[in-house]
Structure 1
Amino acid sequence: MSTRTLYLFASAAPPLFDVARVIEGAQADGWDVCLGLTPTAARWLAESLDGLAVLTGNPVRWEYGLPGQPDLWPAPDAVLLAPATFNTVNSWALGLTGTFVVGVVAEAIGKGVPTVTVPCVNEALVRHPQFERSVETLRGAGVAVLHGEPGQGEAAGFPWQEALDAVGRVGARA
């Protein structure tokens, strides 16, 4: 069986601190994991970045490479962006690619790479009119958006297993 590559991307929200366990779960499911973070998420995990690179066997990325540099990762078979903050979801839906993570997931839509996201947004921001428009835009573009209860941002209740199961389903169709 050939190895499948999963781009696991994360924004700065409390479930981020479970990322090592999520990587291990994805690896147990047969994925080669490449971890990408928003700049704030990278700052939150600064002391763990070297260990996460060892765990994945790939460099952890949070910045675009320089022009002419070779890509450090193999092409993805699927993408999981979780947790996805209000800013990340809206930037992605609007095509505002100022960060590495948002740029890659925006391109994933255009390349037809199966993509799953799990927003992690508090109740007040869920009620902002742009958020639902962004979710619908992403769904319309083929992204599987697992959007449960507002405030599902508590690390203990974040649906990581549901997210990995969804990646398995969309990745199997790739």
Structure 2
Amino acid sequence: MIVGNGVLYVLVCASGAAGHVGRLVTLAQTAGWTVQVVATPSALAFIDQEALASQTGRPVRSRYRAPTDPRPPRPDAIVLAPATYNTINKFALGVADTYVLGLLAEAPGLGIPVVVLPYVNRALASRLPFRRSVDQLRAEGVTVLFGPGQWEPHDTADGAEAIEAFPWESALHALA
């Protein structure tokens, strides 16, 4: 795992697991990271922004800064977790229609390591567009924790169990 005084951007998508992203923040801070949480607009309804801001000492961001706002520190690494079907597919296509996707679109070209930890059910993960997106992101050097021995999708009815078992720590281990 990469440790030290680096800046880790934790990008959060709207899913049931998003409400537990504080677990990843705790693990990252314990490993020595300074954490900035950035959420998709839809994810804001799933997370406790006040608690995360208190935990990180930084406000949760979800949109581009105004030209007069101070520039945030550049990330040394990015973890996209929980990553939804929609965001993974848009990332692979280079769509940058939200702040999260804009960060992701630039990261590979800037040499910033990106780890994607999906939270996708088995029905969506079986779709060809999703499998293509995973392959495409991996071809660009993005670490996608998907498949045997990594992260495996859950059945739609098993969402609550999947949330509790979500392997937040694997995203940090993948930064090694």
Q: CA RMSD, aligned part only?
A: 1.6
Q: How many angstroms apart in 2 are the aligned matches of 1:2 and 1:86? A: 31
Provide the secondary structure at the position in 1 that maps to 2:174.
helix
- What TM-score, normalized to structure 2? 0.88
Matched with 2:19 is: 17
Q: Which moved more, 1:151-160 or 1:86-95?
A: 151-160
Q: How many angstroms apart in 2 are the aligned matches of 1:109 and 1:157? A: 29
Q: Give, in angstroms, the shift of residue 2 of structure 1.
A: 5.9
Q: Give, in angstroms, the shift of residue 66 of structure 1.
A: 2.6
- 1:29-59 deviations in Å (ceiling 9; x for gaps): 00000000111111222xx212211211112
Matched with 1:91 is: 90
Matched with 2:172 is: 164
Q: How many angstroms apart in 2 are the aligned matches of 1:162 and 1:89? A: 18
Which amino acid letter does the alignment assign opposite residue 138 of structure 2?
A: R
After the TM superposition, which parts of structure 1 deviate over 3 Å for at least 4 consecutive aligned residues? none
Q: Which runs of no fewer than 5 residues in structure 2 stay unpaired?
A: none
Q: Give, in angstroms, the shift of residue 74 of structure 1.
A: 1.1
Provide the secondary structure at the position in 1 that maps to 2:21.
helix
Q: How many angstroms apart in 1 are the aligned matches of 2:4 and 2:172? A: 19
Number of residue pairs the alignment of both structures matches: 165
Matched with 1:116 is: 115
Matched with 1:151 is: 154
Provide the secondary structure at the position in 2 that maps to 1:83.
strand
- 1:3-28 deviations in Å (ceiling 9; x for gaps): 11100011111221211122111100
Q: How many angstroms apart in 2 are the aligned matches of 1:86 and 1:2? A: 31
Q: Which runs of no fewer than 5 residues in structure 1 stay unpaired?
A: 170-174
Q: 1:31 aligns with which of 26, 30, 33?
A: 33
- What TM-score, normalized to structure 1? 0.89
- 1:33-92 deviations in Å (ceiling 9; x for gaps): 0000111111222xx212211211112111112345332x21111100011000000010
**How many percent of aligned residue pairs carry the same amino acid?**
44
Which amino acid letter does the alignment assign opposite residue 81 of structure 1?
A: L
